[in-house]
Structure formats: structure tokens, C-alpha cells
Amino acid sequence: MHCASRGRFVTFEGVEGAGKSTQVRIFAETAEAAGLKVVLTREPGGCESAERIRELLLHPPAGGLSPLSEALLHYAARREHLGKTIEPALAEGYWVVCDRFADSTMAYQGYGLELGAGVVSALHDLVVGDFAADITVILDMPIETGLARAKARSPEGDRYERLDFDFHRRVRDGFLEIARAHPARCIVIDADRTQEAVADAVRMEIARRLGVTL
């Protein structure tokens, strides 16, 4: 149950290049046009301290980071983001629309880097507890298509985009496993369509699930 003044927390997840940033922006515009107060944010990042951690995660020093260190850093950034941006905005009645959240750590570090679901769940319980998104949109598409889109946009890629194909396949399987385990929270949307078709599907599903007119 939500108290009348609390906003809603909407997260977007998916493989590289699935169109999250595009769809987050379109959905935020749609929600604002419907008269909702919206905060658009992202992970890793979303507040100054978490943005600094993002720099370390996406551009680590030579020698890299261990999978456990990566997961710890994502959760440190998340704790900052929750306390400084997400929770205050929800308390003020904003809809917080977030480009990636905790499911990304489970999919990328837990499944992709094979840290294991148990380790990520333990961190999640410690840092996030019972807090969860009201709805999570998982944009799903073949790995090849997503990586091709990401590469067309920035050929050099970030450190995750440069990881091998099997890694990205495990990430995609991880997201689909999360969706199966949390059917009330997660909706899987076929993202291998035009931006407009994906945006329509996202808008209709969120409106239906959360009982709002968008």
C-alpha cells in the first residue's frame, strides 16, 4: 500500500543498447504531460557521490576490479542514490524514473560476471532491504542487435560493452530469470521494434499495472 502522497518508483532495465535511455526519456515526458511530477535519474549515478563512483566503475584503473568489488561499488553508489535522490523525491510525491537499478547488479555482476545470486542478494538485503520498484520495465532483445546499436553510437564502447558475447548472454538470461521470479513487479517488453512501438507498449503496461491514465 502507498500512502496518498508517496510517488512511484519506476525502473528500466535491459541489455546493452536495448534503448533504456531512449525509453526512460520518452516515458518521463509522457508522465509529465499527464500531470505527474517526475524525477529522471540513472544508475550507477544519480547524485554527486554516486556519479564519482560511476567514473571508477565505467573507467577502472589498469588491473580492473574484482567482481565482488564491482558489486560493492554499485551498492555503495545505490545507497547514496537512495538516500540523496530517490527516497526524498518519493516522499515529496515525485514519480522517480530510473535508468537501471538493483536488477542490473544481479544480472551483470551476479549472472554476467558469475559472482552468484546469493552474494548479490546478501548485499541487496543489507543496503536496500525491502525497498523495491513499483514497476520494472525489462527491455529485452537479442544480444547481437543491442550490441550493434551501442556500437553504432560509440564504437569504442565502455568496459561492460567490451566484454564477450557469453557474458552478455548470461546478463540477458539473468534479467529474464529476475522477471520470472518477480512477475508482479516486472514487465518484459520486446525492444526489437521501433522506438514508438516500444514506447506505446511501455506506456500501456505501466498505466495498466499502476492504475493511472497516461
In the complex, the smallest distance separating the C-beta of residue 149 from ligand T5A, rounded to whole angstroms, is 4
In the complex, the smallest distance separating the C-beta of residue 101 from ligand T5A, rounded to whole angstroms, is 7
| Comparison of 35 and 118: residue with beta carbon closer to ligand T5A | 118
Measured distance CA(65)–CA(5) in Å, rounded = 41
Residue 121: how many CB atoms within 10 A of its CB? Answer: 12
Counts of helices then strands in the chain (DSSP H, E): 9, 5
Residue 40: how many CB atoms within 10 A of its CB? Answer: 19
| Comparison of 92 and 114: residue with beta carbon closer to ligand T5A | 114
| Comparison of 7 and 19: residue with beta carbon closer to ligand T5A | 19
In the complex, the smallest distance separating the C-beta of residue 118 from ligand T5A, rounded to whole angstroms, is 16
In the complex, the smallest distance separating the C-beta of residue 14 from ligand T5A, rounded to whole angstroms, is 6
Residues that bind ligand T5A (CB under 6 A): 14, 16-22, 43-44, 58, 74, 100, 104-105, 108-109, 149-150, 153, 158, 160, 194-195, 198
- What residues are paired with 39 via a beta bridge? 96
| Comparison of 127 and 210: residue with beta carbon closer to ligand T5A | 127
* CA 38 to chain CA mean position, Å: 17
127 burial (CB, 10 Å; 0-12 / 13-18 / 19+) is middle
